[in-house]
Amino acid sequence: MGIIMDGKKIAEGIRAKLAEEIRKIEAEKAVKPTLATIIVEGDPSSAAYVKNKEKVCIQTGLGSVTYNLPMNTKEEDLIRLIEELNIRKDIHGILVQVPLPKHINENKIASIIDYRKDVDCFNPENAGRLFRGEKCLLPCTPKGIIRLIKAYGIEISGKKAAVVGRSNIVGKPCAMMLLNNNATVTICHSKTFNLKSQLLECDIIVSAVGKPGLITADMVKEGAVVIDAGTTMVDGKLKGDVDFEKVLEKASYITPVPGGVGAMTTTMLIENVLEAFNNYE
C-alpha cells in the first residue's frame, strides 16, 4: 500500500510563507502584487481551476483580477486586452487560461504576453529558457509536481521517468524539468506503441492527459511513484487519469485527484506572481 501524497498540506505550508511575503511587500512598498487571469468560457476544468485560484489569492492576500470572456471573443480583442495588461504597472502577472476556443491561435496569444509577467511559462521566450536550463518563470503544474516529489524526499536523479501527455503547458515542460533534475525521461502520447510496456520500466510516472482511468494497476511496477496531473470533470466531480484505488496498492507514492497536484499548481502560480513582481521591480 502506497503513501498518498498530500499536495494540499504541502501547499498550505508554502502559502503561509507566501502570505507573509505579500504582507511584507504591502507594508514596505505600499503595493499589492496582483495577478490578471483571462478565461474564455467553454472548458469546465478551466473554470474549476480559476475558481480555486481565486480562493488561493484571497487566502494569501494576492491581488486578483479575472476577465471572463464569452466563447465568441475575437482573437484581436483578446490580444488588445493582453497588450493593455502588459503595460499596466498595477498588474504583475498575466495568466491566459487554456485551452482557448479553436478560432483563437494559442501560439499567437502566447507570444503576446510580456515574458516578465508570463506566470505559466506560456511565452516562447520563457519556454526557450526552460529548454536551455536557464532561469525563467517556470510553468505552474510541472513546478508543483517537482516540488511535491522533493517535499517527500523522493530522489529524481538517476531515476527512469515517464511523462504521459505532450502538451506545451504540462507534458513537455514537465519532461524537461525532470530531465533538468537528472532523470532519464520518456515522453508517451496517443501514438506511443504499447504504453503499458513503457510505463512498467519506470520509477516515476506523471500522467497529464485528461482521460479518466487511463493508468491502470497492471501498467505500474511495484514501488513506482505515480503523479496524477490529469483533470477531467465527470458528473460535476474532478477525476484524474489514474485508477487511484488499485494503483495505490502497487505504488510507493501516489497523488490523489483532487488534493494532489492541483493544490500545488495554484500555489506555484502565487509564487510565480511574486517572482515576477520582484523581477519587474
First to last CA, the chain: 48
Read off the C-alpha cell for 155.
530522489
The reported pTM is 0.94
Asked if residue 267 is part of any domain, the answer here is: no
The whole-angstrom separation of Cα 274 and Cα 272 is 5
CB within 8 Å of 197: residues ≥ 6 apart: none
- 148 and 107 housed in the same domain: no
Asked if residue 195 is part of any domain, the answer here is: yes
Run of H or E residues at 160? strand 160-164
- 161 and 80 housed in the same domain: no
Catalytic residues: 53, 97, 120
What's the pLDDT at 43?
72
- 81 and 169 housed in the same domain: no
Asked if residue 243 is part of any domain, the answer here is: yes
- 74 and 155 housed in the same domain: no
- 166 and 239 housed in the same domain: yes
- 107 and 154 housed in the same domain: no
What's the pLDDT at 244?
96
CB within 8 Å of 44: residues ≥ 6 apart: 233
What's the pLDDT at 281?
58
What's the pLDDT at 190?
94
Which residues of the chain carry a pLDDT beneath 70? 280-281
Asked if residue 95 is part of any domain, the answer here is: yes
- 154 and 100 housed in the same domain: no
Residue-level length of the chain = 281
Asked if residue 77 is part of any domain, the answer here is: yes
Give the SS3 label for residue 120: coil
- 148 and 242 housed in the same domain: yes
User: Which structural domain range is residue 88 located in?
Assistant: 30-115
